[in-house]
Structure formats: C-alpha cells, structure tokens
Structure 1
Amino acid sequence: MIIFDLICADGQHRFEGWFGSSNDYAEQQARGLLDCPVCGSKNIAKAVMAPNLGRKGNQDPVAASAADDRPLPQIKKPVISKAAVPAEYQEMIGKLAKAQEKMLANSEWVGDKFADRARDIHYGDADEKPIHGTASQKEVADLAEEGIAALPLPLPILPPESKN
C-alpha cells in the first residue's frame, strides 16, 4: 500500500490517496477515477511529499539503539479548514468515522496476518470474530477467489503499534 499526498489543481485542496502501487495511481488518474473530496474536481495531481527514509545500513548499532529509545515524534495529521468543507460533508465524514470506530471497537487488529487469519476463521480453524489488518491486493484477490469476503476500511487508521 502506498499513500500519496494529492492536490486539486482547481481549488488547491490537499488530501491523501491510498493506492496499491504507483501504477494503480497512474491508471486511476488516466481513467478519470480520481476526484477532489472537497469540490469534486477531476484535475488532481500528486503534491510534493517529503520522503520517509530509514536508518543507514552502516550506522553504528550502539548509537542506533540509543536513538531507537527516544520517544517517537508526534505524527501530524493533514488538516483542512472547516470553512472549505461543506457542512453536509463534515457531517457525513463524522458519521462515517463514528461507524468505523464502532466496528473496530469489537474487532481484533491482526496486522499483516489478515489473510491467514481470515482463512482460519473461514475454514473453521479459528473462532469466528471480526478482524482487521493489512493485506496486499493479491492477498485480497486470493481471498475473494476462495469465497472469503474482505473489504477495505472507509477511513485510514494507524496500526496500534504506531500510536504514541
């Protein structure tokens, strides 16, 4: 899964888009499937993004472990002025967020083991219960071929281990 910061060229509205790959983004843009959630414009482009770089491989392990003990910085979430978002959209997103929160309250986070756990539940090797996690497009397609339903969450979430 890849996340791009996108921008509406007409209204300069910034928002996130989640895609299976860079090619998925390009294909959806070429087919006219991308639109601004604020104004509905189809004139969408990638916004400038800062890269997320990992630690260098030749870094001193002692210094690296000391650095790893530091608290993580607070993650800033994208913000848009409420004045730019119509009231009915604010209400709709609020209701959607509350519904998703309610669903996840009774669901177990299984991380990248989602496909395996969904199979276990489907075939009776594990107790039936709601789960959520991550899966590649291929894993979701394989689950569908086996008759196992898997749907994306309507709003992005942070995995429990990344929360401060």
Structure 2
Amino acid sequence: MKVLDLQCGQHHVFEGWFGSEDDFQSQRTRGLVSCPMCGDAQVTKKLSAPRLNLSTVRGEREAHGTAPSPAVESASAPMPTTPPALPTPQDVASIEPAQLQAAFLTMVRHMVRNTQDVGHKFPEEARKMHYGEAEQRNIRGHATPEETEALIEEGIAVMPLPLPDVFKEPWQ
C-alpha cells in the first residue's frame, strides 16, 4: 500500500492510499481522485517522506532492555477535570494551514457522524423540537438565510455551517 501526500488546485493538502503508483495515476486520470475539502479533481502528488513502521523498532528496543519507562508510554493518565482553555486569536493566527484543515475535517466528521440529516425540513424539525412536538436530537440540514434568521429570532439555537457537497458522500 502506498500512502501519498496529495494537493488539489485550491492548495488543500490531504492523504491518499493506493495499491501502487500506477494505481494512483490510473485513478487520477479517470477523475476518481478528488479533494475531500472542495471536491477539486485537479490533484497533484507532493513530495513526501517514507512512512516507517516504528512498532518494529519499539519491539527491538524492548527486547534489548532500552524501552522507555512505563510512565512515558502510559495511556492511562487521569483525564483533566476542566476543559482545555480556548486558544487566543494570536494562537489561531499562528496555526499552519494544514493543521487548520485537519481540525476542520475532524470537526466536520464528528458533526456528520453525530447528527441526523433532515435535508430541507430543517426549519420545520428544529421548530418541532424547540416547541416540544418532537424528540430532541442532533440534526443538520438546509435552511435559507431568511429561514435561519427567523429561527434565531424565535430563540432557536442554530449555527449556519456551509459544507461542500463532497462532505455528504461516504468517506474512506
């Protein structure tokens, strides 16, 4: 399996997994490779470092008695009791574009996984839940700017989040 660093014409960077270089070129030529952020099919391969299997190296270190102490590798550390502080505007401004893109994709994946798509019935479903006529659940869907404004004026908490159509398709 080859893991390639790819970039679309809009400069979004993402990863693709292919059986071989020929497999990547074949899929790209047929228009089967597209950016997960914007759907752009103008995809190029970026230079990338080889991926190393560090679990083999860790196993060799343990066999020779040079493994890190258990405290370093422990995943059972207690969870913090308070949520982490929000970043300052200066912190956000210094984040690399690839990190912002990764955070955005993580957030969108979480939202899509944990909401029900009600499509164009969004304003109607949001009102039913708000007024106790329907079960409370996490929903997403479509609303015009006017519908969104009316929901907000009624005291219904909604958040416009425009997403490209590519996010509505199955993800690898």
Q: Report TM bin, short chain.
A: 0.3 to 0.5
Q: Normalization by structure 2: what TM-score?
A: 0.44
Q: Normalization by structure 1: what TM-score?
A: 0.46
- Greater helix share, structure number: 2
